[in-house]
Amino acid sequence: MNILSLFPKAMYDTNMCIDRSIYLNWVGRSDTVVWSGPGWGNYEDGLSVQDNAELIGHRLDCEFDVIVFSGKDEYRMPSETKAARVLIYNEAHDVERVMLRTRIFKPDLSLFHHHGDFKQWGGLGVNPIFHCSPIPPETEWGDRKVRVILTGSTERSVYPLRNSAEKAISQKMIRGGFTRRHPGYRLRNRAEINAQFIDYLKALSGAKVSICCSSIYKYPLAKMIESAACGCVVATDKPYCDRFEELLWPHCIQLDAGMSSEEIADVINGHSDEELTAMSAASREVAANHYSLDNWAACFLAATQGVVK
């Protein structure tokens, strides 16, 4: 399959959330994926999407089966494109924007980053699929120097549980707690993005427990899967996601978004190392079997095959 991925170069180079490019580059291991869009040398801003697709395809001696749109830039859309249109959403809680972009792009397939968005947007007449997360190398349990790690934004208005957990760590309520500061959502270049992502995965792989949070939107955030994939026991509140509840929730340290710092510390400190070892093994098995890049690529290709024109 030949796939044209339209993603603004500035976003590709500076967006801290690297997962979307990782996913499609992984698809590119078996199928052809060409990156383009505003800022890329192969893209003409004055041309329509279809004209750009034909021009790029002519240069590469191929015809695109699928055009993937991601990022927030708008494009000059023709009445139709020869290739199937796939629209990727990161967060879909902005109802007005989701509806607007759906009307503009008229996608043959919509991909939602969070599994819980299925219920909200299933009535749009599209076929959403779930994005999975990468499985990084694991550090042996006995070599993990950090007992409990907290990563990501701790802005209380969006992540109340993380905010309370940060206080529990800073006030030494949680044994062996460590907070990795958020690097910001926009970095200077692709090299910084890659370095940050590797450092983040190494930090997770060096910890036994990873405190996560479903946010005020109750999403099964990628951080939960990334933590499990790194061999951490995930400490989190329960997101609105049947799949997560069935597969990973039974192996989590189960918290509630309204818990105080003291309550969070009591629950986490109450788990023995023996309990955590078993929970870690079960969590990583779930991540490897259900959320690997191979799974995501297979899911993406199967879904797009169904809408190829």
Residue spans per domain, the chain: 2-132+293-305, 141-290
For the stretch 270-282, pLDDT in tens is 999 999 999 999 9
What are 281's two structure tokens?
């093994």
Choice between 303 and 176, residue whose per-residue pLDDT is larger = 176
d(CA 106, CA 83): 12
Tally the C-alpha atoms within 13 A of residue 7's C-alpha that lie toward its C-beta.
Answer: 26
For the stretch 36-84, pLDDT in tens is 999 999 999 889 899 999 999 999 999 999 999 886 656 656 557 899 9
Please enumerate in sequence order all residues whose Cβ is within 8 A of that of 112, keeping only pairs 6 or more positions apart, or say none. 89, 92, 118, 121, 128, 129, 130, 131
Tell me what pLDDT residue 55 has: 96
* pTM confidence score: 0.71
For the stretch 95-122, pLDDT in tens is 677 777 777 788 888 877 665 555 555 5
Between vectors from CA 18 to CA 68 and to CA 136, what angle results, nearest 5°? 115
**Domain 2-132+293-305, CATH:** 3.40.50
For the stretch 116-167, pLDDT in tens is 555 555 554 444 444 444 444 456 777 899 999 999 999 999 999 999 999 9
Same fold, 2-132+293-305 and 141-290: yes
Residue pair 257/162 in contact (Cβ under 8 Å)? The answer is no
Q: Rg of the chain over CA atoms, in angstroms?
A: 20
Tell me what pLDDT residue 135 has: 46
Helix (H, G, I), strand (E, B) or coil at 66: strand
Instruction: Give Cα separations from 76 to 50, 53, 294 (angstroms).
Output: 9, 12, 33
- Could you tell me which of 228, 187, 196, 197 has the C-alpha nearest to residue 210? 228
Torsion sign (Cα): 283, 285, 286, 291: positive
CATH T-level assignment (fold) for domain 141-290: Rossmann fold (3.40.50)
Residue pair 115/184 in contact (Cβ under 8 Å)? The answer is no
Question: Mean pLDDT score of the chain, rounded to an integer?
Answer: 86
